């Protein structure tokens, strides 16, 4: 990618956000090619951090990744005082003040299309302009964004398959190529003495360790590349392994995509090249990367999805409310539904901040279509728990499960938690890992313990209603109630 022919600046500031890497980083590249000297900064935004729990895996992940990024920038710059300026403040205020302190002519950052981020960036742009400084933003978090893949009529797609076909038709070496950041490293400037400080500790930020080391979650670009190297060895089998939570099938790169510790162009290029060579696994994984782009453009063009259904007719559905519904929701959150696959999946997210994609669909369907609870409540819980929480994908996934979103599953498609369990965890390996109290049951009894014979339950040490709950809902009954609930919807 060639640098654009725009005026150069004597100095600029790169504002890192959800792009915590040096390699193939769009804003960093453009700053280095347009400025004589470049400073780099990250802001722990107090507006974002304030509502989070004091032990939050994502804050720890960001902090550890910043330590690596700071060291990498220092090495790349060749300056003893090179590296990252890390602040802890309201980001809009901090960037305005830092730009003035450094007396830069422009701030460079990458797009963030979440509504709150767009509003924040608009504020920053206005404030910088009042100081006579520019804000330049770039595409970096997706391969295609915003208006790049549109229908022939010039409208955003709302159905995935046509979008995917258009995406594949448009993609080429240019869109998948990397920005050669390293060759322009001479423009990196040393930090001023007063700003030459190490990355703040978690304690200094008001947080406590959340157990990333114990969970063996690799951080930073080095961790991301280790995961990619491991996945490339398995990618050809991805189509066959991706739906089974007890098998090492996924790439486990979602949290790295979320925080930009690896380039989405690198991942798409890797998948595209392998798929072009005939790998069905790589083709499937590429399709999932395209889904990611798809949900980003849905959020950008239809920001109402943050609070409302993509299909307005689905907001007519009357969800269960009141104390009984709250009790059912709590049981779902805590993995006490009496359906082992659902409960094991919720134990996984609660303990690790990760949930296998197949299980995300199962537990979402269960909450919405077995318990009759508003998808927004499940979406909010996932947003709280997931290490890889991304508004666009989380919202898109929950609206897909509730049939209220674009290109969603039909309202009458309701996952059976028992048959899903029998199909995707037939040997019960995943269930036994997260529900050890059921480990003594046979495979035949494990997926629906309430159907097991009393003697088998006794021999396995399982006491239904005591050390494992009875089902909180009958699936067949719930299915009929859901069909009636969705009857108010006047669209297919």
Positions annotated as catalytic residues are 288, 291, 319, 357, 375, 398
Distance CA 232, CA 285 (A): 11
CA atoms within 13 A on the CB side of 379: 22
What is the DSSP track for 76-125?
HHT-TT-S-EEEEE-HHHHHHHHHHHHT-SEEEEE---SHHHHHHHHHHH
Q: How many whole angstroms separate alpha carbon 16 and alpha carbon 391?
A: 19
Q: Give the DSSP H or E segment for 428.
A: none
Nearest to 365 by CA among 406, 409, 326: 409
Q: Which helix (H) or strand (E) covers residue 12, if one does?
A: strand 9-16
Beta bridge partners of 39: 13
CA-wise closest residue to 151 among 161, 142, 143 = 161
- Give the count of beta carbons closer than 10 Å to the beta carbon of residue 352: 18
3-state SS track over 135-170: EEEECCCCCCCCCCCECCCCCECCCHHHHHHHHHHH
Least Cα distance to 448 among 459, 462, 434 occurs for: 462
Tokens of 266: 């690198």
Q: Do the Cβ atoms of 338 and 469 come closer than 8 Å?
A: yes
Contact 15, 41 (CB under 8 A): yes
């Amino acid at each position: 990618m060639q640098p654009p022919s725009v005026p150069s600046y004597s100095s600029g500031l790169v504002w890192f956000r959800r792009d915590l890497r040096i390699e193939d980083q769009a804003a960093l590249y453009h700053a280095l090619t347009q400025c004589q000297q470049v400073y780099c900064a990250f802001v722990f935004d107090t507006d974002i951090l304030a509502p989070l729990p004091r032990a939050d895996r994502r804050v720890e992940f960001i902090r550890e990744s910043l330590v690596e990024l700071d060291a990498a920038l220092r090495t790349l710059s060749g300056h003893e005082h090179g590296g990252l300026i890390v602040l802890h403040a309201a980001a809009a205020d901090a960037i305005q003040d830092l730009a003035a302190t450094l007396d830069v002519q422009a701030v460079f950052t990458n797009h963030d299309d979440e509504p709150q981020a767009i509003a924040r960036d608009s504020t920053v742009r206005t404030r910088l302009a009042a100081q006579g400084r520019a804000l330049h933003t770039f595409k970096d978090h997706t391969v295609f964004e915003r208006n790049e893949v549109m229908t022939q009529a010039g409208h955003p797609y709302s159905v995935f398959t046509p979008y995917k076909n258009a995406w594949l038709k448009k993609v080429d070496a240019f869109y998948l190529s990397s920005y050669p950041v390293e060759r322009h490293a001479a423009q990196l400037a040393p930090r001023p003495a007063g700003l030459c400080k190490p990355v703040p500790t978690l304690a200094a930020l008001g947080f406590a360790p959340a157990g990333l080391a114990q969970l063996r979650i690799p951080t930073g670009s080095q961790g991301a590349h280790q995961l990619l190297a491991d996945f490339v060895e398995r990618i050809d089998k991805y189509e066959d392994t991706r739906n089974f939570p007890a098998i090492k099938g996924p790439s486990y790169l979602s949290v790295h995509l979320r925080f930009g510790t690896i380039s989405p162009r690198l991942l798409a290029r890797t998948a595209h090249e392998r798929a072009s060579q005939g790998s069905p696994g790589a083709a499937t994984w590429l399709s999932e990367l395209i889904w990611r782009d798809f949900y980003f453009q849905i959020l950008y063009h239809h920001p109402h999805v943050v609070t409302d259904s993509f299909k307005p007719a689905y907001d007519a559905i009357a969800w269960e409310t009141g104390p009984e519904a709250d009790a059912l929701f709590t049981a779902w959150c805590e993995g006490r539904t009496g359906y082992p696959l659902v409960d094991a999946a919720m134990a996984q997210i609660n303990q690790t901040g990760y949930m296998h994609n197949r299980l995300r669909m199962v537990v979402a369907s269960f909450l919405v279509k077995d318990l009759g609870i508003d998808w927004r409540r499940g979406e909010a819980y996932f947003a709280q728990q997931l290490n890889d929480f991304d508004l666009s994908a989380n919202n898109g996934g929950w609206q897909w499960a509730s049939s209220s979103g674009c290109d969603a599953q039909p309202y009458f498609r309701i996952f059976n938690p028992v048959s899903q369990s029998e199909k995707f965890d037939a040997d019960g390996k995943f269930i036994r890992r997260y529900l050890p109290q059921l480990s003594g049951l046979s495979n035949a009894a494990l997926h629906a313990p309430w159907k097991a014979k009393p003697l088998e339950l006794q021999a396995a040490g399982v006491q239904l209603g005591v050390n494992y709950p009875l089902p909180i809902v009958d699936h067949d009954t719930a299915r009929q109630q859901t069909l009636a609930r969705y009857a108010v919807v006047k669209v297919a």
